[in-house]
Amino acid sequence: MENRNISNLIRDIVFYYIKFYYDKYLTDNKCIMIDKKKIPSFVEELYVGRTKELKEYIRSSLKKNIKEEYNKTVVENILVEMFSDVNYCRTRIIDEIILHQENNLEVTN
């Protein structure tokens, strides 16, 4: 499997992971969206506070999805690169959540 495809899979896995905890936050807090001021701390907790858990989730998801094509060296290199620029990733996730909430707000209005 190409590195680009693995990178795309990892991106999708991270978004799925964030979406799971986003939905859990909404349910636990009985709300329809996260207050815009609280999104950075939400992302900080998930992306930075649970880095080890997220990396393990990515690895196990990839192993299930691509099975024998799983290349540990490629995956670890992508993870190192991905977690070396935490500010970029954090900003991207925050932007995605804001966009998601704005799109959902438009749909409900």
- Is residue 23 helix, strand or coil? helix
Separation CA 55–CA 28 (nearest Å): 24
The whole-number pLDDT of residue 52 equals: 93
Q: What type of residue sits at position 87?
A: N
The whole-number pLDDT of residue 89 equals: 87
The whole-number pLDDT of residue 10 equals: 93
Nearest to 87 by CA among 48, 38, 42: 48
Q: Provide the residue-wise pLDDT of the chain in tens; the chain has 109 residues.
A: 676 789 999 999 998 999 999 999 999 999 999 999 999 999 999 888 899 999 999 999 999 999 988 999 999 999 999 889 889 889 999 999 999 999 887 665 5
Domain spans of the chain?
A: 3-108
